[in-house]
A = this chain, B = another copy of it.
């Protein structure tokens, strides 16, 4: 492979995600640039709505870097939304106050799906690539930048339902009454995600993550057919090397504890694990095939400092000694968490993790 073109000052996230040796467990937080931070809320208020913030490369960069100024984090993650691709496909994305995402033009019929075009990332998604480039430049090689996308299945749920859902009536209706249309949609989305993630790497992303928020609402059979199959296509299709080094890719399906070994077989580098699975069991399940990212319940951050420190130890013990663990929350940090509590968590990982990496 040779020497990386760019030397990162701190590359332990990249190494751990590739199951390579590190001297402490790297840590970052899903949604680390978010509403729990007062400095984020200030920029968000300035930007107006959420998508305007995503579309402004300088402001997106500013909020991406905010948590890194506050905490000793081992990675930055692009500030954006998982629904940029459907928006670029013309579905008309808006975020209502307290209501979550809404699409003006949800997909309901076979012809809706057939007429869908795969977006060119250099065109309608260029604002994302601009943000990646600006953030990468401003990071000054301190820590790596993670790019990301929603999974095809998760994107499809929003696109067919028209927003968030409790019962997935329309998308599962399509699954069970017109599976060919759903497969066509998922295949177009997989192709779109590959182009989108490759463009992010081209623009400077040094690691990739696919968020499959809703894969866990499927049967094990349907998960493999309608979610994992298309994440497999993405793993096979994305750039795995750039800038002279490997670009690790992490797959994260919420509630995936029962099919981690199937996910590991895709050839991805790392799996995100939520808190409903013990990392010990997850590690036994996947063996040396992949690294594991996770898995503290974000609600622990409502607890006392001592309770938070105790949970960090429990999770480090559960994973055990050795390589291949990226510490994280099992889902995004909640908006009502006191930022000081996040600090207690991140410091505890720094303090306790080195002993898990000694011979």
Contacts and interface: CB of A to CB of B under 8 A. Distances in A.
B299 A172 contact: yes
Contacts of A297: 172, 218-219, 222
A108 interface: no
A304 B278 CA distance: 39
Contacts of A69: none
A303 B173 CA distance: 6
Contact of A257 (B258, B298, B300): B258
Contact of A176 (B222, B276, B278, B302): B302
Q: Most chain-B CB neighbours within 10 Å: which of A219, A222, A255, A307?
A: A219
Nearest to A331: B167
A220 interface: yes
A175 B303 CA distance: 8
B220 A169 contact: no
For this chain, the copies found in one complex come to 2
A286 to B, nearest CB: 15
A329 to B, nearest CB: 12
Interface in A211-267: 216-222, 255, 257-258
Contacts of A167: 298-299, 334
Contacts of A275: 218-219
Contacts of A304: 176-177
A181 interface: no
Contact of A303 (B177, B298, B314): B177
Contacts of A173: 299, 302-303
A126 B334 CA distance: 41
Contacts of A169: 299, 302, 334, 336
Nearest to A318: B221
A92 to B, nearest CB: 24
Given A255-B255, A258-B276, A276-B219, A300 B336 contact: no
Interface in A294-343: 297-300, 302-304, 307, 314, 334, 336
Given A177-B303, A218-B275, A220-B277, 10 more contacts: A168-B299, A176-B307, A177-B302, A219-B276, A220-B278, A220-B281, A221-B278, A222-B297, A258-B276, A258-B277
5 contacts: A167-B334, A216-B255, A218-B276, A220-B278, A220-B281
